[in-house]
Structure 1
Amino acid sequence: MPGLRGPSDYKQEPSRHPALVINAKEPFNAEPHRSDLVSSYVTPVEFFYKRNHGPIPIVDDIDKYSVSIAGLIGHPKDLYMKDIRKLPKYTVTATLQCAGNRRTAMSKTRTVKGVGWDIAAIGNAVWSGAKLADVLELVGIHKCSHVTPSGGKHVEFVSIDKCKEENGGPYKASIPLSQATNPEADVLLAYEMNGETLNRDHGYPLRVIVPGIIGARSVKWLDSISIIAEECQGFFMQKDYKMFPPSVNWDNINWSTRRPQMDFPVQSAICSLEDVNMVKPGKIKIKGYAVSGGGRGIERVDISIDGGKTWAEASKTQNPGIPYISDAETSDKWAWVLFEAEADIPQSTEIVAKAVDIAGNVQPENVEVIWNLRGILNTSWHRVHVRIAHSKL
């Protein structure tokens, strides 16, 4: 594509914050320390997890950069950044979460394949750009359409990013046309993150933001948009990011028996404590995040300081100064909540967090029942261990 290219090596990677925990160097995959993650409601760009499949694309000439829209439509069109910026600008606060978040804990049950993420392959940002529903109207697709006159039912996003899983081809993914054309779904072609121009790690110059579903569908470094009859046939839609039962292994897997994962289940994690902690007897603060897919708010976060025998409710916040109500218009429905509780810890114990969303969905008690060979969607109760350090006389 003129103006944007995907390099074949890692010689021109952007700089990154030195405090990130690097899970893979090439391609670069990293997350913040868990305590840094919940230091603010909006995740700073430098602490937003980095999930990549190849070298970071490079913009040579932003004025030549365009996105082609083609497929099962009447009139294909090339859109330049100036065209996209002429459309109404919307701002959406949305949490993105890698489907492999908390994979490391799942692998302790049985080995899984994938990047070894702790609990911070997640971040909450303020995204700004044009609504995809407005963009698609430019090529004659009406809002809230389920199918085009030519039979298009899905919208495929193709990146300039080249990845080995696609045999050197581009990363791609799709969402249903009904979601893409629904203004209430808040799907964006975003060019800003936290009020600033996207940086290279996060999709400069243009990326898709699909709130409420796994991050793998929010394609970065957008090259083209295709209106297609069936869902995208790319690797990451058909041979990855699918949820299998614990009985399936690499010898008996049949990818065609499962749909591509889209929605994310209810999730929470404790970020103020490590997996094992030495503390003095007394009160400690328990902080973390909770989020659910599909725009479902968080009804409550339960905390246990005795391994799950008894529970107390944590407080929840989003924007400072605005009370969080799970289904209120004043709340950010696509975003996480931060929770906090204080507890007196007189002896060594296991602290547990679990969240419940407005549909009554709750996290499963243990990881064994949701184990899967790709290690995705580990939404089991999050547990940390506290050991009391008694001072010597």
Structure 2
Amino acid sequence: MMDTCKCSKAEFGRERSETLSAQPEGKGLVTIEHEPIIGETPQATLQSWLTPNPLFYIRNHYSIPQWESDSEWALTLDGHVDNTLSFSREDFRSFPIQTLPITLECAGNNRSDLEPQVPGNPFQNGAVSTAIWAGVPLRCLLERAGIKEGAVEVLFEGFDAGEPAPGEQTQPYLRSLSIDVAMHPHTLLAYEMNGEPLSREHGYPLRLIVPGWYGMASVKWLRRISVIQEKFEGFFQKGPLYHRGR
């Protein structure tokens, strides 16, 4: 177990429910798909190390989820833990905050350069962006819940759901991390991006950020975190599209 978090107090009170994708023609993301929304960062923007929020690449597998009331949002932490917990937006104010510059990249970046061509979104080189993310280290929540002996992975479920491929059952977006990666001090539950609350496209109100991993690991629109006793082998972990980034 790593040392207990020692960071400053978090602020999780501001709301940001609008979207950022509607940009003037020629000044926004390079659109790959409209539904679900997928777009890459313009080439000129990549000359700077920091990506403005409206130009940060987007890779969604399903439509952006909607819920009745932001005030009713809650994050559940359950599974192989000592205490099943639920966290409201207000609860996050009691946690330490961590701010980190982190680059995310889709595993399919530069796919259009491949010969022969392969299935998937035809990204050029704009499916990579960097932001300063702020939020709560995931380990702080896991330590509060208490991980039981025999735990193998931590599973993350988003609010977004749909058919991941023709013939597949409707299911939420699910990805897992090993206990070691989940407990890393830089694995973050982020609610701010470049000093602003997350937009809908980027996972408002809360998303996972996993430094050093392809973007598909950083689950958006979090609704549940479960500690499990076996390796997860769901569609987006092991299926034919699992390599496509997020």
Offset at residue 212 of structure 1 (A): 0.4
- 1:285-329 deviations in whole A, cap 9, x for unaligned? xxxxxxxxxxxxxxxxxxxxxxxxxxxxxxxxxxxxxxxxxxxxx
Contact 1:85 1:130 in 2 (8 A): no
Contact 1:92 1:127 in 2 (8 A): yes
Q: Distance in 2 between matches of 1:238 and 1:209?
A: 20
Offset at residue 203 of structure 1 (A): 0.3
Q: Distance in 2 between matches of 1:163 and 1:115?
A: 18
- The corresponding residue for 1:67 is 75
- The corresponding residue for 2:6 is none
Secondary structure (helix, strand or coil) at the match of 2:121 reads coil
> Aligned match of 1:45 in 26, 32, 53?
53
**Which structure is larger by alpha-carbon Rg, 1 or 2?**
1
Q: How do 1:1-393 residues align onto structure 2 when only pairs under 5 Å count?
A: 15-18=21-24, 19-38=28-47, 40-106=48-114, 109-141=115-147, 148-149=148-149, 151-165=150-164, 167-183=169-185, 186-240=186-240
Offset at residue 59 of structure 1 (A): 4.5
Contact 1:157 1:226 in 2 (8 A): yes
What residue identity is the alignment partner of 1:112? V
Q: Distance in 2 between matches of 1:197 and 1:126?
A: 12
Q: Distance in 1 between matches of 2:59 and 2:201?
A: 8
Q: Distance in 2 between matches of 1:173 and 1:240?
A: 14
Offset at residue 110 of structure 1 (A): 1.2
Q: Distance in 1 between matches of 2:93 and 2:212?
A: 24
Q: Distance in 2 between matches of 1:28 and 1:168?
A: 19
- 1:19-46 deviations in whole A, cap 9, x for unaligned? 32111111111112211222x2210001
What residue identity is the alignment partner of 1:167? Q
Change (3 A) 1:196 1:113: same
Secondary structure (helix, strand or coil) at the match of 1:95 reads strand
Once structures 1 and 2 are overlaid, which stretch shifts more, 217-226 or 230-239? 230-239
Q: Distance in 2 between matches of 1:42 and 1:36?
A: 9
Contact 1:73 1:140 in 2 (8 A): yes
Change (3 A) 1:137 1:32: same
- 1:218-271 deviations in whole A, cap 9, x for unaligned? 0000010011122322211011466xxxxxxxxxxxxxxxxxx7xxxxxxxxxx
Offset at residue 211 of structure 1 (A): 0.5
Contact 2:39 2:57 in 1 (8 A): yes
Secondary structure (helix, strand or coil) at the match of 2:72 reads coil
Secondary structure (helix, strand or coil) at the match of 2:236 reads helix
Q: Distance in 1 between matches of 2:183 and 2:67?
A: 29
What residue identity is the alignment partner of 1:174? S
Offset at residue 140 of structure 1 (A): 1.5
The normalised TM-score by structure 1 is 0.54
Identity of aligned residues (%): 39
What residue identity is the alignment partner of 2:36? P
The normalised TM-score by structure 2 is 0.84
Q: Distance in 2 between matches of 1:85 and 1:13?
A: 24
- The corresponding residue for 1:340 is none
- 1:314-345 deviations in whole A, cap 9, x for unaligned? xxxxxxxxxxxxxxxxxxxxxxxxxxxxxxxx
Secondary structure (helix, strand or coil) at the match of 2:59 reads coil
Contact 1:154 1:227 in 2 (8 A): yes
Offset at residue 13 of structure 1 (A): 7.1
Q: Report the number of matched residues.
A: 222
Q: Distance in 2 between matches of 1:215 and 1:231?
A: 20
Q: What is the root-mean-square deviation in Å for CA atoms of aligned residues?
A: 1.9
What residue identity is the alignment partner of 2:163? K
